[in-house]
């Protein structure tokens, strides 16, 4: 760090004096003397700039134009328009053939769109449906056309919010209001267009190739067979679907079941599948608990889980083996591995 | 050569993580051991939805193999001894200080 001058920091001449080479040891008396030269020590120089001798920049043409814009057509961007977006694209019009959408924040980038977010009312509605009415996640997702993961996230966040309200913790409501006022929102009301696709399936890269599989004409070649053809472990689309019960509902309706009854069946099936999922999780947790011995000490509880060390396999490198692995690179040095957390505990 | 049961430090700076290993005494700490019989995470953790703030430490251990290695004369280090004594494989090496009143009847304690 360069030497610092106490007091005023805006005197370049003072700094120059300070940085002059130290006097030699033959003249020790000089070192005791003040460092300021007599000429400059008479009065501090009046100066308005720090360390700079270049003249202040004049108002450039660009800056002048910017100021004109801010006072003219840029005036409307000072405050958000609550209820609609206020992006700069609203004032831009390249041509009649190339309109700029109001949800496009950057006029030159038509691929960047600001997507709608769930409004406060919509999120409260989702929370009510799950936590008060006790509807299954899949049914709520299908009803509001919101992805299941988003439904789960909304409920989680709402729970935290309500907990904070119970604890009288301050919420950043003005901030939330300001952000929500600037973004396009979805109320999930009747007649609104669907919020997002809910039953998309992940396309495995193995299934992106063109494949010629000889098969006999008499054979029934299903989607499951097609998946097998792409790879041993590739799942058919029906198994990859998030809400397969929706497909069953449509099948029921096509088979002549009244829609009301088909919906009731869908909700029942969704609840059953979620119960089965919860049971699986519960039994897994129970099995772990049975393997675990808890030892209480003064400071900590030690949880000792029984494992099988033979899981390392013949090479000693099996993936499910316990412990840090020998002879393989660190996880953070390996390529193509997702290192950000992908799930919420 | 002496076979030891000891910890091998892995993990990162300020984030230790140990393999509980069985290895020859004169081999390097992190060299490939005879066998990895468990892990020890010394960083105390909270349960995600637990409000009480209690801390726990996670240990994984193959008790069968640990018993086997003790049976054939492997020598645990003090730390591994402590872990094994928690499971009940070995008697605790360092007992908690006994109050003075109880020390008068050592014969009764032994029995």
Q: What is the DSSP string of A70-84?
A: HHTGGGGGSS--TTS
The rounded mean pLDDT for chain B is 88
Q: Residue B60 above 50 pLDDT?
A: yes
Closest CA to B85 of B99, B68, B66: B66
To the nearest whole angstrom, how far is the Cα of A319 from the nearest Cα of chain B? 14
pLDDT at position B102, please?
52
Size of interface A-B (CB pairs under 8 A): 70
Confidence (pLDDT) at A328: 81
Average pLDDT, chain A: 84
Residue A9 confidence (pLDDT): 46
> Higher model confidence: residue A190 or residue A124?
A124
Residue A215 in contact with residue A222, Cβ under 8 Å? no
List chain A residues with CB under 8 Å of B10. 324
Please indicate whether, in this complex, the C-beta atoms of A306 and B62 are within 8 angstroms of each other: yes
Interface mutation vs chain A, best among B9, B41, B60, B95, most A CBs within 10 Å: B60
Would you place residue A49 in the very low, low, confident or very high pLDDT band (cuts 50, 70, 90)? low
If one compares A201 and B99, the residue with the highest pLDDT of the two is A201
Which pLDDT score, from 0 to 100, does residue A3 have? 57
Please check whether residue A324 touches B, CB under 8 A.
Answer: yes
> In this predicted structure, what is the pLDDT of residue B108?
45
Contacts of A326 in chain B (CB under 8 A): 32
Cα A271 to its chain centre, rounded Å, is 29
Q: Which residues of chain B lie closer than 8 angstroms to A306, CB-CB?
A: 60-63
- pTM (2 d.p.): 0.70
Nearest to A295 by CA among B16, B57, B46: B57
pLDDT band of residue A38 (cuts 50, 70, 90) is: very low
Residue B80 in this model has a pLDDT that exceeds 70: yes
CA distance A283 to chain B (A): 19
Most confident among A47-56, A189-198, A326-335 (mean pLDDT)? A189-198
Q: Read off the pLDDT band of A8 (50, 70, 90).
A: very low
Rounded to 5°, angle at Cα A213 from A208 and A218: 130
Query: How close, in Å, is residue A339 to chain B by CA atoms?
Result: 15
Residue A25's pLDDT is what? 42
The residue among A126, A97, A102 whose CA lies nearest residue A114 is A102
A301, A304, A345 ranked by CB distance to B54: nearest: A301
One-character DSSP codes across A130-172: IIIS---HHHHHHHHT--HHHHHHHHHHHHHHHHHHHTT----
Q: Do A323 and B36 touch (CB under 8 A)?
A: yes
Encode pLDDT of A134-145 as tens digits. 999 999 999 999
pLDDT at A336 (0 to 100) = 84
**If you average pLDDT over residues A71-83, what whole number do you get?**
86
**Contact predicate A155/A125, CB 8 Å:** no
Q: What is the pLDDT of residues A154-172, one digit of tens each?
A: 999 999 999 999 999 999 9
pLDDT band per the 50, 70, 90 thresholds, residue A31: very low
The first and second tokens of residue B53, run together, are 């703030």
% of chain A at pLDDT higher than 90 = 56
Name which of B20, B37, B57, B64 to mutate to probe chain A: the one with the most chain A Cβ atoms within 10 A of its Cβ.
Answer: B57
A293 vs B: CB within 8 A: yes
pLDDT of residue A344: 75
Residue A102 is predicted with a pLDDT of 80
A233-264 confidence digits (pLDDT tens): 999 998 899 999 999 999 999 999 999 999 99
Among A36-40, A216-220, B42-46, where is mean pLDDT lowest? A36-40
pLDDT of residue B18: 97
Token pair for A109? 């980038």
Q: How far is CA A37 from CA A16, A26, A42, A43, B8, in A?
A: 11, 20, 9, 11, 65
Q: Is it the case that residue B104 has pLDDT exceeding 60?
A: no
Which whole-number Å values give the CA distances from B10 to A272, A324, B39, in the listed order? 44, 7, 10
Contacts of B63 in chain A (CB under 8 A): 306
CB nearest to A304's CB, from B10, B11, B59: B59
Residues B6-38: tens digit of each pLDDT? 999 999 899 999 999 999 999 999 999 999 999
Q: pLDDT band for position A1 (50/70/90)?
A: low
**A30 pLDDT higher than 50:** no
| DSSP state for residue A177 in the 8-state scheme | H
Residue B110's pLDDT is 45
Pairing of strands B15-24, B35-46: antiparallel
Closest-CA distance, B93 to chain A, in angstroms, reads 15
A328 neighbors A316 (Cβ within 8 angstroms): no
């Amino acid at each position: 760090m360069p030497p610092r001058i106490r007091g005023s920091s805006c005197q370049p001449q003072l700094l120059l004096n300070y940085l002059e080479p130290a006097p030699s040891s033959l003249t020790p008396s000089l070192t005791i003397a003040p460092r300021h030269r007599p000429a400059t020590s008479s009065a501090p120089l009046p100066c308005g700039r720090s360390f700079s001798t270049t003249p202040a920049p004049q108002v450039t043409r660009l800056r002048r134009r910017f100021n004109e814009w801010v006072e003219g057509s840029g005036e409307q961007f000072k405050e958000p328009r609550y209820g609609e977006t206020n992006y700069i694209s609203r004032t831009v019009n390249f041509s009649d053939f190339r309109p700029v959408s109001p949800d496009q924040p950057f006029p030159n980038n038509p691929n960047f769109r600001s997507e709608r977010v769930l409004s406060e009312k919509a999120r409260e509605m989702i929370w009510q449906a799950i936590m008060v009415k006790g509807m299954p996640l899949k049914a709520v997702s299908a009803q509001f056309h919101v992805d299941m993961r988003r439904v789960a996230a909304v409920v989680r966040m709402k729970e935290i919010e309500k907990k904070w309200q119970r604890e009288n913790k301050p919420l950043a409501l003005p901030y939330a209001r300001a952000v929500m006022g600037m973004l396009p929102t979805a109320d999930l009301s009747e007649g609104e267009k669907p919020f997002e696709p809910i039953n998309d399936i992940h396309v495995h890269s193995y299934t992106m190739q063109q494949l010629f599989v000889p098969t006999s004409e008499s054979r029934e070649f299903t989607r499951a067979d097609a998946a097998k053809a792409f790879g041993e472990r590739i799942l058919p689309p029906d198994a990859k679907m998030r809400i397969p019960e929706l497909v069953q509902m449509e099948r029921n309706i096509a088979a002549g079941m009244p829609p009301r009854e088909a919906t009731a069946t869908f909700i029942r099936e969704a609840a059953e599948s979620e119960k089965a999922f919860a049971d699986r999780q519960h039994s897994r947790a129970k099995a772990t608990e049975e393997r675990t011995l808890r030892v209480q000490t003064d400071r900590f509880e030690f949880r000792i889980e029984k494992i099988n060390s033979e899981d390392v396999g013949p090479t000693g490198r099996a993936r499910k083996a316990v412990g840090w692995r020998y002879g393989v690179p660190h996880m953070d040095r390996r390529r193509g591995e997702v290192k950000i957390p992908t799930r919420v505990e | 050569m002496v076979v030891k049961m000891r910890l091998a430090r892995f993990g990162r700076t300020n984030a230790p993580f140990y393999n509980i290993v069985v290895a020859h005494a004169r081999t390097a700490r992190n060299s490939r051991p005879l066998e990895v019989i468990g892990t020890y995470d010394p960083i105390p953790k909270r349960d995600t939805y637990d409000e009480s703030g209690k801390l726990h430490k996670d240990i994984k251990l193959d008790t069968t193999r640990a018993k086997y290695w003790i049976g054939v004369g492997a020598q645990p280090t003090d730390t591994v001894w402590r872990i094994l004594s928690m499971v009940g494989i070995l008697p605790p090496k360092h007992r908690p200080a006994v109050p003075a009143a109880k020390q008068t009847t050592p014969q009764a304690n032994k029995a």
